[in-house]
Amino acid sequence: MSIRETRAWQALETHYHQDMKDVHLRDLIAQDARFETFSKRAAGIMLDMSKQRMQPKTLEHLLALAEESGMKEAIKGLFSGERVNKTEDRPALHTALRLPKDAELRVEGQNVAADVHETLERMAVLVDKVHAGQWRGATGKPVTDVINLGVGGSDLGPLMVSNALDAFAPRDIHHVNVHFASTIDGSQLAELLPKVDPETTLFILSSKSFGTIDTLSNAETALEWLKWSLKGSKEAFIKQQHFIGVSTKPEKMSEWGIHENNQLLFWDWVGGRYSLWSGIGLPIALHIGMEGFERLLAGAHSMDEHFRTAPLEDNLPVLFGLAGIWNVNFLNIRSLAVLPYDGRLKSLPGYFQQLEMESNGKSVTNDTELVDYSTCPVIWGEIGPNGQHAFYQLLHQGTQSVACDFIVPIERYDYIEDEELRQDLKAQHRLSLSNCFAQSRVLMLGDDAVSGGNQDAPAYKRYQGNQPSSTLLIEQLTPETLGALVALYEHKVFVQGTVWNIDSFDQWGVELGKQIANETEEILRTRKGSDAMDASTRHLIDTVWAHTDR
């Protein structure tokens, strides 16, 4: 049965047409106890949904939809290790990666919590060795730079967290610079290599499958560079001193030449885009220390516990997910902008893009039927204040409805010792907070945000408002609150996938492109086979050949 046929979905459709279709946010925000009804707190985060185009009754219907979708059972299944990833027939146990040391979680006879902590210990040994200045390159010098080679989930998570938590890098250690290179064209690596010393650079090959061409081609280039630069050293020794591998495939790592002691393993029940909490988080631990990494896990765990135990009506990921369902399926808003008002979170929109769109960008249900409703919106975004000078024009006066997530910490810069510098930067943060609150208010109220009104202004100066948003106010950006924030979005994705009855943990939609790219590479290289291609692609290939032959 399609979710559209449930009683709750139909009640929501009726409610939309009868009570909500023509209601403007300016009228909703004036309702009694609006803020109290639509805002909740957990794990250091306050979620304010009072600027969403919902009434208390909307929420009641949405909660009924969650019940009818089997939300409680689904949450139980996720945490207990049921095979919720149906098309790949395996659990999705990223929550197990954040369990405390004394926890026990038996999945098909195996205590996965113990496996997780064993790997964390191995990770700590690697991190300690680097931080003690004891990890030496082939010529005997201590490592100074680490380059993570990975893509998608094996890049975006560690990159985002390392950027966000830079201030938490420990000072009492042998410092290493952590860099990231992901692009298949080699441009990031080519830019990095001249800036680092081959004698003291360590590479991490991060790949769940250890078969991703983007990462393996960067790895080959890195190896060539080392071999060329360290001419006196044997290849096997270079690999031993300069490469760590993180993967679920030990045999493939060994085949590539990653020394057994340099392999960090994780499990096929960790999805790539949910893997920053596993060995894939090694660059994070190298950047902010093992203690910082464990604080990140603890923060995510506190959101997990909230999600697992809180009643649906108080449950942040459930409410956040349901607001998204309302926007997509009933208000027909299929675009969501993620807008952090903190430069440290610059990589967050890109990270959430993969998390949400690769998880819920699906059109086939768990019963292998085509959906007859919309699923994941288009997720995009930018540092909020920068976006104000770029694309907010469209948010305020364009023809699209766009929902927005505003994300901002309350406290900032308390750690700065110099009093005057601290006060200057705090004033800048106050500017950021003011802009954040001003923008969500203008998006909601339009002209009504102007005291005295704006009704007499010419049409090009008018603002319609009525663009819904949520604000996530974080007490302070710490490893704990960042962990909780990411877990909140992960669970939001699960909540929406459950209502839409889709598999949030597979990604079959990326496979065909990989296969065709391999075939195309062969045609480009061998100059054979382009005749069988479509007119556009054939001519593009011919143009490349003609250019190369000039």
Measure CA 374 to chain center: 21
Angstrom distance (rounded) from CA 509 to CA 491: 22
* 358 is annotated as an active-site residue: yes
Write the CB contacts of 228 (distance below 8 Å, at least 6 apart in sequence): none
Q: Quick one: which segment of 22-30, 203-211, 226-234, 379-387 binds ligand F6P (CB under 6 A)?
A: 203-211
3-state secondary structure at position 372: coil
Cβ of residue 165: shortest distance to ligand F6P, in angstroms?
Answer: 21
CA angle, residues 92, 98, 102, in degrees to nearest 5 = 115
CB neighbour class for 520 (10 Å; exposed up to 12, middle 13-18, buried from 19): middle
Among 69, 212, 347, 359, binds ligand F6P (CB under 6 A): 212
Residue 279 DSSP class: G
| 239 lies in the binding site for ligand F6P (CB under 6 A) | no
The phi, psi pair for 403, rounded to 5°, reads -85, 150
Write the CB contacts of 58 (distance below 8 Å, at least 6 apart in sequence): 12, 15, 20, 326
Cβ of residue 280: shortest distance to ligand F6P, in angstroms?
Answer: 8
CA angle, residues 351, 354, 355, in degrees to nearest 5 = 85
Among 91, 153, 289, 381, binds ligand F6P (CB under 6 A): 153
Near ligand F6P in 353-412, by CB under 6 A: 358
| 154 lies in the binding site for ligand F6P (CB under 6 A) | yes
Cβ of residue 204: shortest distance to ligand F6P, in angstroms?
Answer: 12
Q: Of the candidates 277, 161, 262, 148, which has an alpha carbon nearest to the alpha carbon of residue 207?
A: 148
The phi, psi pair for 227, rounded to 5°, reads -60, -40
| 328 lies in the binding site for ligand F6P (CB under 6 A) | no
Question: How many residues touch ligand F6P (CB under 6 A)?
Answer: 14
Residues 282 and 266: beta-carbon distance below 8 Å: no
Cβ of residue 88: shortest distance to ligand F6P, in angstroms?
Answer: 11
| 85 lies in the binding site for ligand F6P (CB under 6 A) | no
Cβ of residue 515: shortest distance to ligand F6P, in angstroms?
Answer: 11
Angstrom distance (rounded) from CA 474 to CA 485: 9
| 208 lies in the binding site for ligand F6P (CB under 6 A) | yes
Cβ of residue 10: shortest distance to ligand F6P, in angstroms?
Answer: 35
Near ligand F6P in 283-322, by CB under 6 A: none
Cβ of residue 99: shortest distance to ligand F6P, in angstroms?
Answer: 22
**Element containing residue 218 per DSSP (H, E):** helix 213-229
Among 55, 207, 241, 278, binds ligand F6P (CB under 6 A): 207
| DSSP, residue by residue, 512-543 | HHHHHHHHHHHHHHH--SGGGS-HHHHHHHHH
Task: Closer to ligand F6P by CB, 32 or 89: give it.
Answer: 89
| 272 lies in the binding site for ligand F6P (CB under 6 A) | yes
| 518 lies in the binding site for ligand F6P (CB under 6 A) | no
* 528 is annotated as an active-site residue: no
Angstrom distance (rounded) from CA 117 to CA 509: 33
Q: Quick one: which segment of 152-160, 163-171, 184-192, 516-524 binds ligand F6P (CB under 6 A)?
A: 152-160
Dmax over Cα atoms in the chain, in whole Å?
A: 78
Measure CA 259 to chain center: 30
| 148 lies in the binding site for ligand F6P (CB under 6 A) | no
* 306 is annotated as an active-site residue: no
The phi, psi pair for 472, rounded to 5°, reads -110, 110
Task: Closer to ligand F6P by CB, 20 or 493: give it.
Answer: 493
* Cross-strand bridge partners of residue 381: 338
Cβ of residue 490: shortest distance to ligand F6P, in angstroms?
Answer: 14
Task: Closer to ligand F6P by CB, 208 or 492: give it.
Answer: 208
Q: Quick one: which segment of 27-35, 206-214, 257-265, 340-348 binds ligand F6P (CB under 6 A)?
A: 206-214
Instruction: Classify strands 243-247 and 201-206 as parallel, antiparallel or unpaired.
Output: parallel
Q: Quick one: which segment of 14-22, 59-67, 205-213, 517-525 binds ligand F6P (CB under 6 A)?
A: 205-213
For ligand F6P, the binding residues (CB under 6 A) are 151-154, 207-209, 212, 215, 272-273, 358, 507, 510
Q: Would you please indicate which residues are annotated as catalytic (active-site) residues?
A: 358, 389, 514
